[in-house]
A and B are shown apart, each in its own frame.
Chain A
């Protein structure tokens, strides 16, 4: 009997060792640029072929909730899923411009982890990849890749100001655009992949949709493949400042300075509908989970449209709306106005709350995993609001905050300001008790 129990224990040890060894042995990850380069059911995540389940586990996703090239969209009350393109891979976090993040930002007043100075105002929102690297353009005509610790990784010199937020594609490629009309793609190492000169300056942020297609607004709307191959261009006479939003029904929606919302087929750019909303549109259209569209105008109106372009309701604020509306988990639409207020409206168009700041609100709001809202104001502060609009904290950045916040995986907020710096604000570290009561 004793010998059999020893044998069993040995077998158990052997089994444990085998399992341990198998667990410890790393799966070789091959480099890649797209899912097509990966085999055996793996996806291309951050430049490496990896099993989907492993990636989902790392990102905290429910298995099967999302696939490559897109983020899972749950119904009201569900947590927004992380994007495989990065922690905060494009303007407003996703191609629908919901502004929702999969990560939680600071609930209490943060501390500044670092501030990276550029030579001029930072108007663009930072984009953050899966490794926490921050990508942002400045009006000093440079585009920066910054490490999570605030050190420069690389700098790309554009020949004009960079207003637009960058978008991150598969494999960590970067899509950025400058005021002189250059649409540029860079490798994760900052080397140019392509440089296309479009017909007009580019102020609006490129958007990366499923399958990696990139939409850019300039003198109309362009669609490109990730390698820069142009798919279509729907021209417009006016200079578009509105970043295209991708609707699940297969069209992109964009606002125009002449006061129109256009819906263009993602396949070929055909104009599906045009709605005159009556005021110039500087911000972008955002799309909620039910497919409704929201947009602000310089007449101070927030307008809701259905997927067919019909106006559902209008809400008038006291000043221009230049930002892009954000959509909270419970479907509220959050937007700032030049009347100094931040508004939250119900999907029916009723005011849920409004919170005053001391300056015009040009930036767009971001909504973290827990429903907290972060938004900058021209009163020099970055605000954190509760889901009910209560001011949780505000942080003085010294100059106007027109840039829109990005939220990293670790909950650090990244935002530009008119002081020319990119600021990283994170939760204050817990007090360090390790130096106390040292034994003699």
Chain B
């Protein structure tokens, strides 16, 4: 990682500067040599060496100073002319255990401190002599990149960059492989088997190379790769690092870098292959390509979207016959996106100083989300399917009607239709926006003004002269609630005097779910963008303990005392737990065991408590009924409901 002061010391780029896009993209501009910024760096500048006539491998006169082969007797004293500019790819050297001395062409180079873990050897300055960019490991385990340039007086050493670990507690891995011997004649030595080497040098192509360092944090491997352009001076083109899984997408992430002409323009591009191996299931990998452009490196927009879309399409294809496989494939697609994209707070890849790469609105991720929801519906996990369906509304997804239809179709297919009765409730026309509740299985209350009571058996209705307490009320009927809203503290329901009605000023509020405002948003005052945001919460009812609300599979309790004031923090009901009771609410049974919610696909009936589960009730002809469900009442038995759909009231029995 380039430190801020080192970055500030960079000379101006030699190519046209790329327009500033992101911090990562800015790095792609040509950079020169960097000053070392870390304290404690004891690398040597301009280390002289002594010529040792007749002994090409003789040690330098200064301890630790590099040595070079002596010219043969009788050779001209003038230095040879530099050869023509070399287009060869650098030679990559990797050592399982860092070595103090390195063969660079026909000379030797020694370090006075630390060891060379890997090197890229090439003629940086086109003078006919081989130079090197080294990855040096110091005794404290720190890793720095150095440039060793051979001149007439020997090698000069200059710092290039410090490679910081990707996590505070990460350390450079050590290898258990045997150390390859340095050939006494200086003719070079075979590359170490590099899979376990702490640092690998990778030759990417003419003038391009990379180092891949293997950091570890506990049992977790966290590779870091640095790509270099091997000009004089060499410069760092890009840095990639794998971040720890803690709080992010789980699984092992591997990183490999190679050079390839991805766009066929004759220039080598950088390809970073990132593979994610989740705790369960097969790995997924994607090639992120940085195209070499005159203005600098440019991330190709094709990935990771193509890989995500491929997985999503495979998931869609498997949905019909193998929903389990479809779910796995969809999860892989979504995990890949979450691990790589900057929009994900759980991204595992760091590029330069930024977390994740910029990803466009994703059709693939939208399809994967829809397939996920559909697969869950097919498996009978209806609440999880609804949660997954709700995820389609998240930003960053390019959702089409076709995508939504995937979920709707699955939910419709999962619905129970047998034994479900549906009848229109006599000639009574439904009132707009009037809540409903059921006093008993045969009596419907319609909260018009004045209210009406309907006998479900006969359809006969009568007026109720006295004022009814609203369907959701405290045990003594003094308070009711308004709809859930979002405030600076989170999602809340206003507490209202039941006698004065919903238009009266709230007496207080019950915090259903605490949520911090998004970063950068000033609150208070409550932003206007919060006005329509209910967080997906629906109020189920009011029990002696307080308010109960539901969103997807989550049920939360907001404790309230006898005065309607908060009596403790809200909490989520754990799976298998029962809601407080008795509870006053239109769509929950008084014992708090069964509640119902209207969905486009039908009526979701959820039984709480041990052994509970969700059913989707969908009578024949339900889809043909016009309109959406405006109000719903559940009978105390939990086996009958009345729905205001479109312009009519309907009784459903199951």
Contact = CB atoms under 8 A, between A and B. Distances in A.
Interface of A: 119-120, 140-142, 152, 154-157, 159, 182, 184, 186-187, 189-195
A155 B562 contact: no
Given A119-B610, A191-B475, A192-B545, A156 B580 contact: yes
A140 B561 CA distance: 23
Contact of A152 (B545, B546, B581): B581
B573 A157 contact: yes
Contacts of B328: none
Interface in B460-488: 475
A142 B577 contact: yes
A89 to B, nearest CB: 20
A156 to B, nearest CB: 5
Contacts of B609: 119, 140
A192 B610 contact: no
Contacts of B580: 154-157, 190
A207 to B, nearest CB: 23
B608 to A, nearest CB: 10
A189 B562 contact: yes
Residue of A140, A191, A195 with most partner-chain B CB within 10 A: A191
Interface of B: 475, 543-546, 557, 559-562, 567-568, 571, 573-574, 576-582, 591-592, 609-610
B578 A155 contact: yes
A189 B544 contact: yes
Contact of B544 (A120, A184, A191, A194): A191
Given A189-B475, A191-B475, A195-B567, A119 B578 contact: yes
A119 B576 CA distance: 8
In order of increasing CB-CB distance, the 3 nearest A-B pairs are: A190-B544, A192-B567, A195-B568
Nearest to A193: B561
A140 B545 CA distance: 17
Given A191-B544, A191-B561, A192-B559, A140 B577 contact: yes
Contacts of B582: 152, 154
Nearest to A182: B568
B68 to A, nearest CB: 69
6 contacts: A119-B577, A119-B578, A142-B577, A156-B544, A157-B573, A193-B561
Given A187-B562, A191-B562, A195-B559, A159 B571 contact: yes
Nearest to A154: B544
A192 B576 contact: no
A27 to B, nearest CB: 25
Contacts of A157: 545, 557, 573, 577-580
Contacts of B592: 155
A195 B559 CA distance: 9
Contact of B545 (A119, A120, A182, A190): A190
A201 to B, nearest CB: 16
A115 to B, nearest CB: 16
A321 to B, nearest CB: 33
A189 B581 CA distance: 11
A366 to B, nearest CB: 29
Contacts of A140: 576-578, 609-610
Determine chain B's interface SS by DSSP, over half rule. loop
Nearest to B475: A189
Contacts of B557: 157
A70 B560 CA distance: 31
Given A141-B577, A152-B581, A157-B573, A194 B562 contact: no
A119 B580 CA distance: 14
Contacts of A141: 574, 577
Given A155-B543, A155-B578, 20 more contacts: A140-B609, A140-B610, A141-B574, A141-B577, A152-B582, A152-B591, A155-B581, A155-B592, A156-B580, A190-B544, A190-B580, A191-B475, A191-B544, A191-B545, A191-B561, A191-B562, A192-B560, A192-B568, A193-B562, A194-B567
A154 B543 contact: yes
Contacts of A190: 475, 543-545, 580
A154 B546 contact: no
A190 B592 CA distance: 14
A182 B578 CA distance: 18
Contacts of B546: 192
Nearest to A156: B545
B569 to A, nearest CB: 8
Residue of A142, A187, A189 with most partner-chain B CB within 10 A: A142
Nearest to B611: A119
Nearest to B561: A192
Contacts of B568: 182, 184, 192, 195
Residue of A156, A157, A193 with most partner-chain B CB within 10 A: A157
Residue of B567, B579, B592 with most partner-chain A CB within 10 A: B567
B473 to A, nearest CB: 13
A98 B582 CA distance: 35
Contacts of B577: 119, 140-142, 157
Residue of B475, B581, B591, B610 with most partner-chain A CB within 10 A: B581
Contacts of B475: 189-191
A187 B567 CA distance: 12
Contacts of A194: 567
A186 B561 CA distance: 9
B590 to A, nearest CB: 9
Contacts of A142: 577-578
A261 B467 CA distance: 61
A6 B567 CA distance: 69
A205 B221 CA distance: 49
A289 B403 CA distance: 77
B476 to A, nearest CB: 8
A72 to B, nearest CB: 33
Nearest to B544: A190
A119 B577 CA distance: 8
Contacts of A154: 543-544, 580-582
A414 B180 CA distance: 80
Contacts of B581: 152, 154-155
A182 B576 CA distance: 20
Contacts of A156: 544-545, 580
Nearest to A180: B571
Contacts of A189: 475, 544, 562
Contacts of A119: 576-578, 609-610
Contacts of B578: 119, 140, 142, 155, 157
Nearest to B568: A195
A142 B544 CA distance: 13
A404 to B, nearest CB: 24
Contacts of A182: 568
Contacts of B544: 154, 156, 186-187, 189-191
A182 B567 CA distance: 12
A41 B376 CA distance: 67
B582 to A, nearest CB: 6
Contacts of B545: 156-157, 190-192
A187 B475 CA distance: 12
A352 B55 CA distance: 104
A161 to B, nearest CB: 10
A142 B592 CA distance: 12
A438 to B, nearest CB: 37
A192 B570 CA distance: 13
A142 B543 CA distance: 14
Contacts of A187: 544, 562
A192 B543 CA distance: 11
A195 B565 CA distance: 13
A20 to B, nearest CB: 37
A198 to B, nearest CB: 13
A347 B99 CA distance: 83
Contacts of B561: 191-193
A155 B590 CA distance: 11
Nearest to A184: B568
B333 to A, nearest CB: 35
Contacts of B559: 192, 195
